[in-house]
């Protein structure tokens, strides 16, 4: 069983599954998914602790990967696309359940440990500090976060997780668990994988030109785990490739999954 919320587009063609990054939701990939949907069936997945998916006591990459794998069947192998945190989850799906994945696209992340969680800690603290009971409009939240999150694009992205219901405003993020397990989110669970683990299907690595998540220093790990990979760098994009250069990324994906 899986407690993951999904959204679908398209009724024919091969299946393309999207796994979003930290603080995101499946709907962040709606624009690209709809463009692909005339020729492909598209599945947008809310990762654990995000969007409308279930929350658990802790964040665990292998558990998240197995939950995504639970949405798939060996009779319908997929093109699996993952960005950032979702890219790590997608990589682990391919490594642990290779029979389910026809091809893999990893967007701006590598199978390594990262140590730059300070900005994410600040984002979580800012969201937790917001007094939801005093909010009347979403604009009030935007104003309240301006000092802590001055970047308009980032602030808008975070506020997509703020939802209004009959009983008031709430976050669709499990902020307590994500904040507590942030170091684990930056990690790569190499010690929990089989020493011989690898995925032999085709892999496309997409990096943003100004991002630091995909470096030559990480090539050894990429090549060892995913020997049939090729890399593409998208100009004019940082870490948020799908929002900064959606048309270019869509065309890159279209060529890879066709």
Q: Which residues are catalytic?
A: 84, 176, 239
**Residue 73, number of CB atoms within 10 A of its CB:** 12
Instruction: Confirm if 83 and 16 have CB atoms less than 8 A apart.
Output: no
- What is the number of alpha carbons within 13 Å of residue 154 lying toward its C-beta? 17
Both tokens assigned to 255:
């060529």
**Residue 255, number of CB atoms within 10 A of its CB:** 10
**Residue 186, number of CB atoms within 10 A of its CB:** 17
Interacting residues of 108 by C-beta distance below 8 A, sequence separation 6+: 83, 84, 87, 206, 207, 208, 211, 213, 214, 239, 241
**Angle separating helix axes 152-159 and 138-145, nearest 10 degrees:** 140
**H/E element, 54:** none
Interacting residues of 72 by C-beta distance below 8 A, sequence separation 6+: 17, 78, 93, 97, 100, 101
- Chain centroid to Cα 117, Å, comes to 16
């Amino acid at each position: 069983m899986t407690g993951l919320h999904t959204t679908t587009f398209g009724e024919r063609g091969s299946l393309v599954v999207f796994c979003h990054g930290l603080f995101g939701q499946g709907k962040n990939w709606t624009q690209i998914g709809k463009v692909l949907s005339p020729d492909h069936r598209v599945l947008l997945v809310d990762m654990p602790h995000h969007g409308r998916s279930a929350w658990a006591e802790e964040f665990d990459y292998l558990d998240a990967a197995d939950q995504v794998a639970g949405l798939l069947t060996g009779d319908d192998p997929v093109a699996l696309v993952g960005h950032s945190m979702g890219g790590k989850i997608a990589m682990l799906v391919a490594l642990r359940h290779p029979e389910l994945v026809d091809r893999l696209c990893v967007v701006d992340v590598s199978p390594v440990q990262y140590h730059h969680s300070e900005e994410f800690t600040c984002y979580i603290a800012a969201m937790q500090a917001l007094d939801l009971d005093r909010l009347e409009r979403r604009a009030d939240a935007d104003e309240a976060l301006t000092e802590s999150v001055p970047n308009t694009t980032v602030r808008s992205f975070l506020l997509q997780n703020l939802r209004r219901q009959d009983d008031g405003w709430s976050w669709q993020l499990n902020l307590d668990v994500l904040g507590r397990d942030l170091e684990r989110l930056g990690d790569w669970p190499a010690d929990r994988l089989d020493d011989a683990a690898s995925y032999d299907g085709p892999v496309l690595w997409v990096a943003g030109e100004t991002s630091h998540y995909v470096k030559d220093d990480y090539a050894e790990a990429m090549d060892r785990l995913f020997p049939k990979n090729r890399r593409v760098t998208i100009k004019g994009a940082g870490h948020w490739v799908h929002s900064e250069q959606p048309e270019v990324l869509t065309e890159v994906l279209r060529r890879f999954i066709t």
